[in-house]
RNA sequence: AGCUCCGUAGCUCAGGGGAUAGAGCGACCGCCUCCUAAGCGGUAGGUCGCAGGUUCGAAUCCUGCCGGGGCUGCCA
């Protein structure tokens, strides 16, 4: 039940009827007609812009349309008043019992309230994290992980069939570096002093991997040339890293549906296939690239390369898929990977990338556009950097200085719930300050506690009411304006879900929950001044039961919203 | 130089064609014999970076400029 959508339908029906009666010209486009909550609550419960939008195409005065529409709307039992206001708004005030039925509906629907059929079962692939398997996940990855996971949950709630996917970059030079680094730790495990050359990964997290390697291979790899052990060590080390990353993700509460391997694309003809597919569309050619604009590298030499004509699909320059020595660039397996996703039949693709990869968005979009003949939309969500702070001071993160902050550090200090919620209190394209001191504080500075506190208060009331043997009812008693305001907020939930899902913006859920909690706390405090508004009414079980229905509906929505964000709704605050 | 994101209250940020632009923090004034004050109410605080354009209507869309972050051939 989405009241805004329902009333919009009512408006559209009446506009159609007016057309039928000749009160409006034929063939008008009603798609811009909106029914929305007004900015100012004094204007009513919802407003429609129908008259203003239609005035010009209908060649009529907005007020004339609005005045003709108003009595038709008030004929519906749900609409109490419809007033023309401002430049032509039609402000609607709904019948008071609408809010009561809404609460009943929410309690009946429970966790399904707000679930939408927006996606209509379309399949969406959300690729996120995709951190290189060369070390533990650090804070920079956390935001992308949380964002991708919450977006996936949001889309599922909005009726999409969602696949969460991680692309393992295990095919490039960096996994060779990993293997060499682990090999040194393997030597160390044998009592030899490791030679961590410049360019190798120095982190301690590889020490146990070296030991495990010794467990498996004994001393059989010692004093052997790289060609002898590189492939085995690489596979061993990559698997160890992926096990670590999976554990990190699990700690954050992220579970992937599919792990795709870059390495698995090599030597199987899949890259060749993908490139051939592009070639068959006339998008592959041998050519020279212009030097980059602006600062030209000193050692620039024009070289003939195999290029992808990405400019035919919106990119700024064509991109090399093959190096001048004939080997693939990193871009080639990316093409094959996205070709694979297209062929698996997804209706939509989403790539969640760090903002530092922003330069790749256009070429990947070009790939998907070319390989799907423009059929499959790809949305690239860029995640801005996380600025680590401590007491308002920037907190530098450096591998060398040993202040390398891992996902594990963050989750162990702040907890998964706090980490997830805070990471979602910014738009993905805005930088985020993550202040350890502030986040550990259990106060109003911390939005997670604010929302959870509201939920905990409701659960507390509910526990008390059950102890008192109350017979709950789904029929609420809504008297006060603070209660009406809260109910209206609940009415916005389905609409908000659709807006957030449409825009791929899970942060809207977090902000909504904050507002909902705020309305709830306001009502709660009103009970301090006006005891008759308290949920639990001494000696009046029937009234108590009716008063509790509204907060129960609030807890249903908070719980659903937090569920989308992957945050546990607290039963109590300790 | 190009591409891209950002510029809204002292600070951190929502809003992203509609009416008088919002929240939190900070400041100031109030509210606990009470379902958890981890809360609530109020006051003060704004040329929505600048200039044009589109529109009945622009913080929102377009163009240009200014300022800041990120990226910018054969690394991933």
Q: What is the pLDDT of residue A399?
A: 52
Residue A222: Cβ within 10 Å count: 14
Q: What is the pLDDT of residue A323?
A: 87
Alpha-helix runs per DSSP H in A198-313:
207-217, 226-252, 270-280
7-46 of chain A touching strand B, CB 7 A cut-off? 38-40, 42-43
Q: Cα dist. A287→A248, A284, A308, A322, A371 in Å? A: 44, 10, 10, 11, 21
A374 within some domain: no
User: Is the minimum distance from the CB of A468 to strand B below 7 Å?
Assistant: no
Residues A86 and A181 both lie in one domain? no
Nearest nucleotide over every DNA/RNA strand to the A507 CA, judged by C1': B14
Residues A453 and A552 both lie in one domain? yes
Residue A430: Cβ within 10 Å count: 8
Q: What are the tokens at A539?
A: 């000696």
Q: What is the pLDDT of residue A296?
A: 60
305-364 of chain A touching strand B, CB 7 A cut-off? 305, 316, 320, 323-325, 329-330, 355-360, 362
User: Is the minimum distance from the CB of A286 to strand B below 7 Å?
Assistant: no
Q: How far apart are CA A437 and CA A202, in angstroms?
A: 29
Among candidate residues A167, A166, A155, the one with its CA nearest the CA of residue A123: A155
Residues A86 and A186 both lie in one domain? no
A144 within some domain: no
Q: What is the pLDDT of residue A396?
A: 64
Residue with tokens 């597919």: A277
Q: Which residue is nearest to nucleotide B70 (CA to C1')?
A: A356
A355 within some domain: no
A28 CB-contact burial (10 Å; exposed 0-12 / middle 13-18 / buried 19+): middle
A149 within some domain: no
A333 within some domain: no
202-241 of chain A touching strand B, CB 7 A cut-off? none
Q: What is the pLDDT of residue A139?
A: 82
Residues A462 and A554 both lie in one domain? yes
Q: How far apart are CA A82 and CA A88, in angstroms?
A: 12
A284 within some domain: no
Q: How far apart are CA A319 and CA A311, in angstroms?
A: 9
What is the extent of the structural domain holding A195?
173-252
Q: What is the pLDDT of residue A403?
A: 57
A14 within some domain: yes
A156 within some domain: no
Q: Are strands A35-36 and A123-127 parallel, antiparallel or unpaired?
A: unpaired
The CATH number of the domain where A505 resides is what?
A: 1.10.730.10
Residues A455 and A559 both lie in one domain? yes
Number of domains in chain A: 3
Nucleotides of strand B under 7 angstroms from a protein beta carbon: 1-6, 12-16, 18-25, 31, 34-41, 55-57, 69-76
CA of A33 to C1' of B67 (A): 39
Low-confidence ranges of chain A (pLDDT < 50): 400
User: Is the minimum distance from the CB of A56 to strand B below 7 Å?
Assistant: yes
Q: How far apart are CA A116 and CA A493, in angstroms?
A: 11
Q: How far apart are CA A195 and CA A214, in angstroms?
A: 17
Which residues are paired to A298 by β-bridges? none
| DSSP labels, A434-481 | EEHHHHH--STTSHHHHHHHHHHHHHHHHHHHHHTT----SS----SH
Residues A82 and A178 both lie in one domain? no
Q: Which residue is nearest to nucleotide B39 (CA to C1')?
A: A521
The CATH number of the domain where A30 resides is what?
A: 3.30.1360.70
Which of A204, A220, A252 delimits the end of a domain? Answer: A252
Which of A95, A120, A136 delimits the end of a domain? Answer: A95
519-558 of chain A touching strand B, CB 7 A cut-off? 521-522, 524-529, 531, 534-536
Which of A95, A110, A127 delimits the end of a domain? Answer: A95
Q: What are the tokens at A117?
A: 């059929």
């Amino acid at each position: 039940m989405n009241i805004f959508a329902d009333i919009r339908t009512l408006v559209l029906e009446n506009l159609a009827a007016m057309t039928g009666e000749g009160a409006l010209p034929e063939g008008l486009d009603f798609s811009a007609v909106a029914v929305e909550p007004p900015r100012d609550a004094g204007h009513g419960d919802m407003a429609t812009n129908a008259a203003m939008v239609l005035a010009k195409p209908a060649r009529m005065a907005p007020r004339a349309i609005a005045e003709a529409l108003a009595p038709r709307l008030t004929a519906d039992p749900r609409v109490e008043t419809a007033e023309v206001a401002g430049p032509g708004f039609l402000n609607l005030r709904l019948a008071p019992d609408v809010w009561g039925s809404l609460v009943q509906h929410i309690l009946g629907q429970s966790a399904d309230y707000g679930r939408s059929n927006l996606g209509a079962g379309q399949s969406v692939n959300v690729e996120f994290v995709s951190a290189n398997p060369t070390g533990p996940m650090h804070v920079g990855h956390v935001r992308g992980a949380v964002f991708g996971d919450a977006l996936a949950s949001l889309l599922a709630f909005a009726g999409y069939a969602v696949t969460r996917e991680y692309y393992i970059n295990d095919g490039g030079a960096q996994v060779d570096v990993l293997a060499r680094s682990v090999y040194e730790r393997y030597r160390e495990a044998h009592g030899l002093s490791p030679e961590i050359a410049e360019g190798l990964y120095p982190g301690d997290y590889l020490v146990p991997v070296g030991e495990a390697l010794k467990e498996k291979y004994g001393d059989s790899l010692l004093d052997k040339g790289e060609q002898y052990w590189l492939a085995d060590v690489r596979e061993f080390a990559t698997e160890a890293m992926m096990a670590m990353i999976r554990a990190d993700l699990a700690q954050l509460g992220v579970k992937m549906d599919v792990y795709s391997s870059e390495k698995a694309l090599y030597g199987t003809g899949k890259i060749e296939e993908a490139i051939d597919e592009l070639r068959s569309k006339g998008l592959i050619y041998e050519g020279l690239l212009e030097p980059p604009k602006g600062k030209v590298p000193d050692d620039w030499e024009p070289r003939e390369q195999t290029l992808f004509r990405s400019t035919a699909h919106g990119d700024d320059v064509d991109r090399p898929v093959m190096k001048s020595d004939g080997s693939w660039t990193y871009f080639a397996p990316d093409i094959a990977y996205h070709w694979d996703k297209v062929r698996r039949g997804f209706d939509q693709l989403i790539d969640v990338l760090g903002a530092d990869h922003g330069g790749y968005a256009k070429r990947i979009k070009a790939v998907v556009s070319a390989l799907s003949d423009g059929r499959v939309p790809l949305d690239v969500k860029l995640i801005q950097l996380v600025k680590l702070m401590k007491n308002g001071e920037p907190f530098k993160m450096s591998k060398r200085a040993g202040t390398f902050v891992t996902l594990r550090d963050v989750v162990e200090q702040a907890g998964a719930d706090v980490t997830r919620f805070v990471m979602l209190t910014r738009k993905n394209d805005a930088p985020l300050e993550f202040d350890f001191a502030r986040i550990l504080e259990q106060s109003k500075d911390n939005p997670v506690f604010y929302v959870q506190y509201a939920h905990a208060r409701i659960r507390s009331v509910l526990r008390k009411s059950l102890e008192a043997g109350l017979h709950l009812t789904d029929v609420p008693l809504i008297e006060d304006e603070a209660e009406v305001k809260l109910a209206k907020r609940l009415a916005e939930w389905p609409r908000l879900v659709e807006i957030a899902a449409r825009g791929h913006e899970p942060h809207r859920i977090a902000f909504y929950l904050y507002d909902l909690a705020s309305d709830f706390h306001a009502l709660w405090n009103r009970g301090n001044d006006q005891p008759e508004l308290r949920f639990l009414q001494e000696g009046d079980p029937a009234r108590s039961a009716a008063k509790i229905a509204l907060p129960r509906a609030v807890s249903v929505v908070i719980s659903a919203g937090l569920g989308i964000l992957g945050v546990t709704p607290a039963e109590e605050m300790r």
